[in-house]
Structure 1
Amino acid sequence: MGESLGRRAGRGLRWSLLGTMVTKVGSFAMGLALARILAPADFGVYAIAMAATTVLMHINDGGLIAATVQWRGKLEEMAPTAATMAMGMAFGLYGLFYVTAPFFAEAAGNRSAVGVVRLLALVIVIDGVTAVRSGSLMRNFQQGKLVTANSVGLVANAALAISLAVGGAGPYSFAWGQVAGAAVTGVLVFYYGDVPFRYGLDRAIARKLLVFGVPLAVSLGVEAIVTNAQFTIIGHLTGPVLVGFYLLAFNVASWAQTTLGQAVRYVSVAGFSRLSERDGDALSNGVLRTMPLLVTVMAPIIALTAVLATPLVTLLYGDRWAPAASVLQILVGLTLVRMATGMCTDVLTAAGATRATLWLNVGWAVVLFPALWFATKAGAIHGAALAQTGVGLLVAVPLTAVALRRSKVALRPLALAMVRPLCAGVLAGAAAWVAVHFAGGPYPFFQLLVGGVVGLLVYVPAAIPRDQMKQWVALIRRQPAPAEAA
């Protein structure tokens, strides 16, 4: 008998969590080293380049990675067509962007970013070549192989980036490291991917892939614009130094979301796709099991990061990065929004509702861009952070709820299940603030220690019901819970 979906998805999630933790810890360590070697202005130039490249990374494969994961038929039938389309799109986008890079850098207020933009965009080509094989590994829950590829690529990235930074390469150290790491990862993914090495073009399959993939690619592109256009706007209005502070705050605020969210997304589309093929409320029940658990994990991280932002930034990055702390306190609210909307986008994609994801992100972008422009002009990087977080909460969350309801996901039980951890997070943050204010002392390390310990001691019993806690403890000990034993 074949292995159950739950067991395969669980194994894939464990590998994803392990791999994401390894890569994020490595990226964090590399970021610490580069922050102490490079100047904030170098981070600003890199932020502009990343803003462009990230958008293109989301659209360069035309949604073909997700289409590979979600494909209902035999993978061998669609792989040659999908691989040909992904490569063609990637090379075409890179050529177009190479030509337009000077105009983009000028619009972002820093023409010196042209070379960095062109270099970093090579990652697009690598991603296009390996798109179908990456999708195949996700589809078959072979996240262990992706973990290996990403980890080896990170080592190559860090070694080259830090060496170049020490040698005075400035923002180019980021770009060369990223390209080298992507190349190493791409070679391993190409080797691991269990897909025939064939290229071709079947018009019927291509049409089917485009119907699914184009709305998703546009949607992901808009999502990436929502996330990354802020750096271009802020860079244009405030200059590279302030956008460097903003980039660091945004990255720190995104630690938990990118670590947990990336791990979950490696398996969520495949898992929810299989659930969407079943009759009844299987998909809705899957969301109800998953989303509250994510909120329970994220709530204390967000609350404690907001309270402990200043000692966190100064301890890790040094006093010269202290202006980023007050921006971080605002942006952590956006973290929960991005986590929730990202998970819901995966649900909609798995259900084949790619047009719904498009309209969700378009609605978000239409409100965000003017708000971000005026808020940045009025309040610099603090205004930008307020605009991002406020529009996320007031616009993106309601739009996501509407899209889920149309896909027959029950919202009321989902909302009720998230009330307790959210309230517990607020309570934990308040307790941590009091503890730091009265017992934290002048040293950042002790402020983090006292605030973190007190906050978690308050959060755990407030967020997790006693019966559920007993079941978790019993599961860890591999013993039956008291209720089950009876």
Structure 2
Amino acid sequence: MTDSLRSKVLSGLVWSILQSWGVKLATLLLFMVLARVLDPHQLGVFAAAMVVLSFVGIFIDQGLSQAIVQRAQITVQQLNTVFLINLGLAVLIFVILWFASPLIAEYLKIIELTDVLRVASLVIIISATCFSQQAMLHRNFRYRWLAISALVATLISGITGIVCALHGLGTWSLVIQMLTGSVIGAAMMWTQPQWRFSFDLDFSGVRELLSYGMNRLGTSLLDFINTRYVEIFVAATLGPVALGIYSVGVRIYQALMQALSAAILDVALNGFSRLAHDPVALREAYYKAVTLTAAVAIPVFCLLAAIAPEVTVVFFGNKWAGSAEVLRPMALLGALHVVEYYNGTLFNAIGKPSIGLKFVVFKTVTTFVSLWLMREPDLLSIVYVYVASQLVAMPLSFYLVQRIVGVSLWTMFLRIWRFLAACILGMVLITLGRHVGMIADLNLFSRFVVLGVLGSLGYVGFLALTARAQLRELYVLLRVRRQPG
């Protein structure tokens, strides 16, 4: 990796992390306020709409955004054509959703979902207008402007949603929040355009992108079904109230998955793709990425799982106490997923997304079969069956990386085992501390703070005694020369 590329990757990594941390923290804080105003039914209706919109959004992207980033060369003509294709598909899907909304609402047994879904689906068209601009900002490592745009859109739309909720708009306050954020974000993408649209088109060139993108489309589609079908299953089986409780329970998990892994993976695809021709450098970059994630992301998920009962009530209020039982197993799953997700990124970087596709097929089938075999399920049994189905598939992912890319699992383990041991110690201290009389007698917020500090000290203390060399290596890795956004 050249010094210039290394500087761009690390600079992009910092800004991408700042974007994800900033946006997800702001979103989480705003959602905490909304959760105290809205009830589980209202949140459940919006969550059902979001599952549908996220699903159809995959077909609009078609894997083309990642194809734009991954390709060594991209032309203006290809960007023009991609823009038109995505905008046309967005309009078509909007029309289809408008007429299909009553059928979707009937299937999920949520009558008010029809109007909510029809209005919320406007976000599909809005997002399509800035599709190519956003992809090129990623490609050009313009993560600074992406971060600023996302933060501005999140804050303004969040405040708008809170005002609407306080005026009694219920589920519609969330719809208004989402549309406001999309409009502001799209507008800011076009204030620093990476290309100017014209009708100079190249459909044959786009076919080259589609050959890569279709594999990514299949992978994204199956991955969505694998990770989000459980929400449809909860809504159709148990109703919107249970979906609302589930949505709050996974809210912090989802925010952290995006803030701690999506930001890193976003830059990792860009960086890994540039190293695809150098297997040795590619493997070393993978080891470093996994080590960084093990040091930063895994402990956050592990400590969150240990402190789930306190964090759920402190963040969202007493009426959401039941969501803690959803958060705990999902947070532990997240601790493993943030490392495993690098495997799919490697396959995409070397131009073999079909490998990731086959793996996701296996995971999706496992999840579907596991949920289908359930009889008279309740919310917690659905969550635990889903987590178990994900864990069953995980060893195959690492086996494929070892065989195809040449990654040594033993080398990876030697680099991260101290961080894993420190996580276990932190969780044990939290669990034991909760039963200490002096801590148990504290009020909820004080107990939350004390247990969080206790687990963090256990984690940091163990590393200070056993992993000084690894910590120094991470410090060197994260030193980034100042680079224009």
TM-score of the aligned structures, taking structure 1 as reference length: 0.92
Counterpart for residue 419 of structure 2: 421
Equivalent in the alignment of 1:481: none
C-alpha spacing 1:94/1:212, structure 2 compared with 1 (3 Å):
same
The question of 1:141 aligning with 2:168 is answered no
Is the 1:143–1:266 Cα contact (8 Å) retained in structure 2? no
> Which of 455, 468, 471 is the matching residue for 1:469?
471
Measured at CA, do residues 221 and 470 of structure 1 come closer, stay the same or move farther in structure 2, by a change above 3 Å? closer
8 Å Cα contact 1:56-1:221 kept in structure 2:
no
Q: Does 1:399 align with 2:396?
A: yes
8 Å Cα contact 2:77-2:201 kept in structure 1: no
Structure-2 separation of matches of 1:421 and 1:183: 42
Q: Does 1:349 align with 2:348?
A: yes
Amino acid at match of 2:259: T
> 2: distance between equivalents of 1:93 and 1:281?
44
Q: Which residue of the partner structure matches residue 367 of structure 1?
A: 366
Gaps of 5+ in 2: 481-485
The amino acid across from 1:71 in the alignment is: R
Q: For 1:309, give the aligned amino acid.
A: A
Q: Contact 1:300–1:429 (CA<8 Å) still a contact in 2? A: no
Work out which structure has the larger RCO, using CA pairs closer than 8 Å and 6 or more positions apart in sequence.
Answer: 2
The 1:475/1:272 distance shift into structure 2, 3 A limit, reads: closer
Report how far residue 20 of structure 1 moved.
Answer: 1.7
Using the TM superposition, give the Cα deviation of residue 475 of structure 1 relative to its aligned residue in structure 2, in angstroms. Answer: 9.2
Q: Deviations over 1:51-90 (max 9, x none)?
A: 1111222331211111111121244342122222222222
Distance between the aligned counterparts of 2:350 and 2:82, measured in 1?
Answer: 20
* Residues 233/476 of structure 1: CA separation in 2 closer, same or farther (3 Å cut): closer
Question: CA distance change for structure 1 residues 199 and 223 in 2, over 3 Å: closer, same or farther?
Answer: farther
Paired residue type of 1:91 = V
- Structure 1 445/340 Cα, relative in aligned 2: closer, same or farther at 3 Å? same
The answer for the alignment partner of 1:408 in structure 2 is: 405
1:294 aligns with 293
> Does residue 79 of the first structure (1) align with residue 79 of the second (2)?
yes
Look up the equivalent residue of 1:161 and give its one-letter code: G
TM-score (norm 2): 0.92
Q: Does 1:250 align with 2:250?
A: yes
Report the CA distance between 1:476 and its aligned residue.
9.5
Residue 102 (structure 1) shift: 2.0
1:200 Cα deviation after fit: 4.5
Q: How does 1:48-197 map to 2 (within 5 A)?
A: 48-197=48-197
CA distance in 2 between counterparts of 1:327 and 1:338 reads 17
Could you list the per-position Cα deviations for residues 297-344 of structure 1 after superposition, in whole angstroms to 9, with x for gaps in the alignment?
A: 122222221221111111121111111112211211221243234332
Q: How far is 1:196 from its partner?
A: 2.4
Secondary structure at the counterpart of residue 61 of structure 2? coil
Matched residues, number:
474
- Change in Cα spacing, 1:187 to 1:358, as seen in structure 2 (3 Å) is same
Larger mean CA deviation between 40-49 and 263-272 belongs to 263-272
Structure 1 residue 404: Cα displacement: 2.1
| Inter-partner Cα distance in structure 1 for 2:79 and 2:217 | 18
- Residues 293, 172 of structure 1: CA spacing in aligned structure 2 closer, same or farther, 3 A cutoff? same
Counterpart Cα distance in 1 of 2:34 and 2:119: 19
Following superposition, the deviation at residue 261 of structure 1 comes to: 1.8
Aligned residue number for residue 429 of structure 2? 431
Q: Please state whether the residue corresponding to 1:111 is helix, strand or coil.
A: coil
Q: Deviations over 1:384-416 (max 9, x none)?
A: 111221111111x12322442354141422244
Q: 2:397 & 2:266 partners in 1: Cα distance?
A: 21
Cα displacement string for residues 261-318 of structure 1 (whole angstroms, at most 9, x for unaligned residues): 2321331221111111x33322222111101220221222222212211111111211
After the TM superposition, which residues 197-346 of structure 1 pair with which residues of structure 2 at under 5 Å, given as runs?
A: 197-276=197-276, 278-346=277-345
Rounded to whole Å, the distance in 2 between the matches of 1:55 and 1:335 is 21
Q: 1:121 to 1:7 in 2, by over 3 A?
A: same
- Percent identity, aligned pairs only, is 24
Choose from 369, 379, 382 the match for 2:380: 382
Deviation of residue 421 (structure 1)? 2.0
Instruction: Report if the CA contact (8 A) 1:401-1:411 is conserved.
Output: no
Q: Distance in 1 between matches of 2:123 and 2:392?
A: 34
* Structure 1 position 374, deviation (Å): 4.1
> Contact (CA 8 Å) 1:84, 1:199: kept in 2 or not?
no
- 8 Å CA contact retained: 1:311, 1:444: yes
Instruction: Indicate conservation of the 8 Å contact 1:94/1:121, yes or no.
Output: yes
Deviations 1:167-197 (A, max 9, x none): 2221121112101101110111122231122
| Native 8 Å contact 1:21 1:259 kept in 2 | yes
Report how far residue 3 of structure 1 moved: 6.2
Quote the Cα distance in structure 2 between the aligned partners of 1:474 and 1:75.
Answer: 37
In structure 2, relative to structure 1, the CA distance for the partners of 1:44 and 1:217 (3 Å cut) is same
C-alpha contact 2:153 2:182 (8 A) present in aligned 1? yes
Indicate conservation of the 8 Å contact 2:46/2:116, yes or no.
Answer: yes
User: Do the aligned partners of 1:58 and 1:217 also contact (CA within 8 Å) in 2?
Assistant: yes
Structure 1 stretch displaced more, 381-390 or 262-271:
262-271
Q: Contact 1:61–1:87 (CA<8 Å) still a contact in 2? A: no
From the superposition, tell whether residues 74 and 247 of structure 1 become closer, same or farther in structure 2 (CA, over 3 Å): closer
Secondary structure (helix, strand or coil) at the match of 2:62 reads: coil
Q: How far is the alpha carbon of 1:364 from its aligned partner?
A: 1.1
SS at match of 2:168: coil
**Aligned Cα RMSD in Å?**
2.2
Aligned-partner Cα distance in 1 for 2:230–2:327: 15
Deviation at 1:471, TM superposition (A): 5.7
Note if contact 1:59-1:218 (Cα within 8 Å) is conserved in structure 2.
Answer: no
- Residue 227 of structure 1 aligns to which amino acid in structure 2? T
Against the structure 1 CA distance between its residues 324 and 289, is the aligned structure 2 distance closer, same or farther, given a 3 Å change threshold? same
Deviation of 1:11 after TM superposition, in Å, equals: 0.9
Per the TM alignment, residue 48 of structure 1 is displaced from its structure 2 partner at its CA by 0.6
CA contact (8 A) 2:10 2:478 kept: no
Secondary structure, in 3 states, of the residue corresponding to 2:50?
Answer: helix
Provide the residue aligned with 2:483 in structure 1: none
